[in-house]
Amino acid sequence: MPSRQRETTVSMPLTPSRSDLYWRRIFEKYDKDKDGRISYVELKEIINSVEYQHDLPDNVVDKIMALADRDNSGYLDFNEFVAMMQNPDLKAVFGHFVARYVHSIIPHRGPVDTTAHSTSIFTYSDGTYEEEYSCWPPAICMILISLVEIVLFCYDAAHGHTQGDGTIAKLFIYNPHKRQEAWRFITYMLVHVGVVHLLVNLLVQLFLGVPLEMVHRWWRVVLVYLAGVAAGSLATSLTDPKVYLAGASGGVYALIAAHIATIIMNWSEMEFAIIQLLVFVLLAAVDIGTAVYDRYWRHLDQNIGYVAHLAGAVAGLLVGIGVLRNLEKRKWEKRLWWAAVLIYCSLMAAGILANIFWTERFQKSH
């Protein structure tokens, strides 16, 4: 062993702690022949098997192979195994195990547990995202966007216009007769028709967008949001070329779909992933379904752009998979990432080209 190599010692108490028992269970699980040792070859075979793919990420094999056992035996005994798992330099590698241990001692429901010997404050987390959740830098981008929307709405409201017909609204709304003013494909998100329309969008932006921003950082969330806004206007311009478009529904649905993308890309690292997925899919389906029903079955002219909702959701899902932080990458997720990027870029390019060159589509609508 080179003299520079840092040695890591593990103190083994006479009475096993809960941490020791946890690592012992993990160790015994991977000790297939029950000889009290784990060989590198054996561990590599386990990692490459389907049965254990959710317990150890693929890149663990490389890290283990690079970490020579201290006695050059070709095996890891329990002490070496624990030292490796608790080594600060390998925290990123074994963060999945650490998170599972945290969840094994932190109950999902419970108050502060105070005993004569110790005081423990129970917290709740969402998979390994508890380590990524941060309030610094502060998540203010979605808040700033919301404030701009409020200020502009209040300006028009102060002049007696709340239905998207004020001075500011006319400047920013998507007007199908002014498609050459390209900024309208984005700025329509700042215009809202009525107080309820504004409040609904603000609620989703703040209560879903801000937490996503805390985890994924501001630029990723803003990119997803704007991608949904742009996709919503492009899709609406092609499917409903006579329709004016106002509101941030495209961006809002992009955020909802982005959270679904987060669930998909971090399925095994998140708690209650299937429940979260079903809840958000159900909410979106009910909202869009109601808009479609009111328009085509009840024949209500409410100017609800359900196409912008759908396009924003698709954009949020595709861009969310592409840019949101994935805590633990696997091979299939990398392929999904490339597929999402390719599909989104192709759809956006097709929408832009159609708006530029498919002139007869818009001439017929006038």
The pLDDT of residue 222 is 93
For the full predicted model, state whether its pTM sits above 0.85. Answer: no
pLDDT digits (tens, 9 = 90+) for 115-141: 333 333 333 334 444 445 555 677 789
What was the pLDDT predicted at 303?
52
CATH of domain 18-107: 1.10.238.10
Domain ranges of the chain: 18-107, 141-363
Mean pLDDT in residue range 17-43:
69
Strands of 60-140 (E only): list them: 75-76, 113-114, 119-120
pLDDT at 340 over 80: yes
| 366 or 348, higher pLDDT | 348
Burial class (CB in 10 A: 0-12, 13-18, 19+), 63: middle
**For the domain 141-363, what is the CATH code?**
1.20.1540.10
Q: Which of 54, 249, 299, 346 is catalytic?
A: 249
Instruction: Assign 311 a pLDDT band (cuts: 50, 70, 90).
Output: very high
Task: Tell me, yes or no, if 96 is annotated catalytic.
Answer: no
State percent of the chain over pLDDT 70: 59
Residue 159 is among the residues annotated as catalytic for this protein: no
Q: What is the pLDDT of residues 214-228, one digit of tens each?
A: 877 889 899 999 999
**Residue of 3, 309, 365, 366 marked active site:** 309
Tokens representing 8?
């890591």
In this structure, the number of other CB atoms found within 10 A of the CB of residue 139 comes to 21
Q: Which residues, 6 or more positions from 23, have their beta carbon under 8 angstroms from its beta carbon?
A: 78, 81, 82, 85
